[in-house]
Chain A
Amino acid sequence: MYIYAALLLAFMLGPLLIVVPMSLTSGTSLTFPTPGYSWRWFRELADDPRWLSSFVNSVLIASSVTLLSSVLGIPAAMALAWTKFPGKRVIYAIIAAPLVVPVVIVGVAAFSFFSALGMVGNKLSIILTHTALAVPVMLTTVMASLSNFDRTLVRAAASLGAGPLLIFFRVVLPLIAPGVVSGAIIAFIISFDEVVVASFLSTGEERTLPRMIFSGVRESISPAIASAAVLLVLFSAILLILIGWLQSRTSKSRAS
């Protein structure tokens, strides 16, 4: 049984590990075993203005998506978790629709919509569409942390004369912060990794990092692409550790 699990893990994780030495090649093409090791392809990434600007674009877009999905998602999560009203399931279905529709259809539909508005090749169009994809996840994460929230705290704060905004920022937000941060990180990753919508909506200057990799792979696979892939794997690992740490912190604070 363990041998089987080990073999499968090698299949699942092996490729992610083996590109690390391959990306450190000193040669001009991707081969394994590598002729020698160097940082040249990582330096190439840092020196090439196209890779650099695509990284900056991705960070800018993903940050805006995180912000926008928090602003839209947190109030909606509170409304959906705390109040009962007719048609709630319909509202869930509307908000979750972006998770169900295949992403190519989302991309092509967004392309058709935003080109009619003259907004293709504009960061805003990508931010808006990515937010639609990220917001359902944000909503679920925040709602999960709200489900353990003791609502008498809100009533107590209100009885002491606090207004709704003060209650939200001083009482509610600090208590659900770990859920909000997890949701924000996931929203960031969804946008940062997204390639299909970006490939329809981003052109030239506005290319995102995944879009760069995608079009690069279709031409030829240089070690620079392997290096970019390794950086993205490391990035995911760091964020995963961050979320794990956040969750262990919440479970500890609940236990105490």
Chain B
Amino acid sequence: MLALPLILFVLVVFLWPVARFLALSVDNSDLSDNLTRTVASLDGWNPAQGLPGEDTFVALVDDLARARRAGRDGLVGQLINQRLVGTRFLVIKTAKDAAAGKFDQRPLREAVLAAYPGWSDVSLWRTIALQRSAYTDYYLLASLDLQRAPDGSIEKAPADKAVFLEILWRTVWISFVVTMICAVVALPLAQAIVSAPPVRSRILFALVLFPLWVSLLVRTVIWIIVLQKNGPINSALLAVGLTDHPLSLVYTRFSLYIAMVQVLLPMMVLSLVSVMRRIPASYMRAALSLGASWLTAWRRVQLPLVMPGLLSGAAIVFVFALGYYITPTLVGGPTDQMISSYIAFYTNKTLNWGMAAALSVQLLLILAASAILFWTAAALLRRSAATS
């Protein structure tokens, strides 16, 4: 009962807005509602017949005039333009003239074509004919580099539009590399923290965890400052004589990895240390006393016991990295941007809600898939530990 206000709050302020936004990835009502008559008149038309007839043009002028009066003409122009680049002003200008009653002589078809020859493009009519339903798979297909062919089958998108699979893959790859680096770097560090005498161990641990308290933004900004041309790293390299000119360290994949590892490493250490603290030191001592070298003992005795911590740390780092926005945006170069940056780009720069929502759906699917993967791996690990 006492939890009710909080549950309602999260539902209204969080879950509802997110669900509503994700639904935009399949929403086509802005087009289907504003082009109802035109789309209906294109029923049975196919592109092979050439331009549609007079009744379709009458319906178009009627639809666009209504859209203009409702203040939706800009939106219709923008949405058609997303599907067929370069048609925005054609639609908006036609809508303006239609609402002003400029197309009053018959046949309308010739009047519109004379004023705006752009309407003689059959592919534009094909695009409009596809806007029948209030739902569309256009954005979700586009986010996978796919599109609908004229006959309705699914085909590969043309090369200039097929950028999204690469972005999805890049996001997964960067997260994977960051997770691997974190795992390799954190294992000895966590071991050092656990094996140190109590006071030193606590100080070390606190120092490693301190960056978690500094905002992500500040840590990212600091890397730009440190790695820039006149920054301390370049000054040091110049002073030592390793290079004779300042290196471009920032806005590269290298700087992105550095910054992301520094930001996410504490999480990995935290997860490893919490597992390692529960492993009795006597196990290692026993292995060593039986004649195993330190490395063999660590690999055969300690590592299998640490695996659950490694796995949960990797899951946390990987899942966090997948959704990273601030760090890639600020520290990465143009070819290092991850999926979140594109979600923000389609929202801020082009107001393409459908594309932003479709990419969000893909990101959430990747997140869910990796969560299931890690969860299965952990379950398998537990089972093999129980049976051995």
Contacts and interface: CB of A to CB of B under 8 A. Distances in A.
B204 A5 contact: yes
Interface residues of B, number: 68
Interface string B174-217: 00000000000100110111010000000010011011011111
Interface string A106-127: 1111111110000000000000
Contacts of A95: 6-7, 10
A113 B16 contact: yes
B280 interface: no
A4 B208 CA distance: 13
Between B13, B14, B364, the greatest number of chain A beta carbons within 10 A of the residue's beta carbon is seen for B14
Contacts of A229: 218, 221-222, 225
Contact of A9 (B191, B207, B213, B219): B207
B367 A102 contact: yes
Contacts of B204: 5, 9
Given A79-B3, A213-B217, A32 B230 contact: yes
B64 interface: no
Q: What size tier do the contact residues of chain A reach?
A: 35 or more
A108 B3 contact: no
B217 A101 contact: no
Interface string A200-225: 10000000001001100110010001
Contacts of B188: 1, 4-5
A16 B360 CA distance: 33
B6 to A, nearest CB: 4
Given A95-B6, A226-B225, A108 B218 contact: no
A12 B11 CA distance: 38
Interface string A161-185: 0000000000000000000000000
- For the complex, would chain A's binding face be called helix, strand, loop or mixed by DSSP majority? helix
Contacts of B71: none
B343 interface: yes
Contacts of B223: 15
A113 B224 contact: no
B45 interface: no
A144 interface: no
A113 B19 CA distance: 10
B262 interface: yes
B5 interface: yes
B288 interface: no
A218 B329 CA distance: 9
Instruction: Identify the interface centre among B6, B204, B344: most chain A CB within 10 Å of its CB.
Output: B6
B47 to A, nearest CB: 35
Interface stretch (B118-126, B137-145, B150-158, B320-328): B320-328
A210 to B, nearest CB: 5
A240 B213 contact: yes
Given A79-B1, A236-B213, A29 B17 contact: no
Interface in A41-100: 72-73, 75-76, 78-80, 91, 94-95, 97-98, 100
Contacts of A80: 3
Given A1-B191, A94-B11, A210-B217, A102 B208 contact: no
Q: What 3 pairs across the A-B complex have the smallest Cβ distances?
A: A102-B323, A193-B215, A113-B17
18 contacts: A1-B188, A5-B189, A8-B185, A8-B189, A31-B230, A80-B3, A97-B15, A101-B364, A102-B363, A103-B325, A109-B18, A112-B353, A113-B17, A114-B17, A132-B13, A193-B215, A217-B224, A233-B214
Interface of B: 1-3, 5-7, 9-11, 13-18, 20-22, 24, 185, 188-189, 191-193, 195, 204, 207-208, 210-211, 213-219, 221-226, 228, 230-232, 235, 262, 265-266, 322-323, 325-326, 330, 340, 343-344, 347-348, 353, 356, 360, 363-364, 367
Given A109-B22, A110-B17, A112-B20, 10 more contacts: A4-B192, A5-B192, A11-B262, A16-B214, A76-B5, A76-B7, A105-B18, A135-B6, A200-B348, A236-B213
Interface of A: 1-2, 4-5, 8-9, 11-13, 15-16, 18-19, 22, 29-33, 72-73, 75-76, 78-80, 91, 94-95, 97-98, 100-114, 128-129, 131-132, 135, 139, 189, 192-193, 195-196, 200, 210, 213-214, 217-218, 221, 225-226, 229, 232-233, 236-237, 239-240
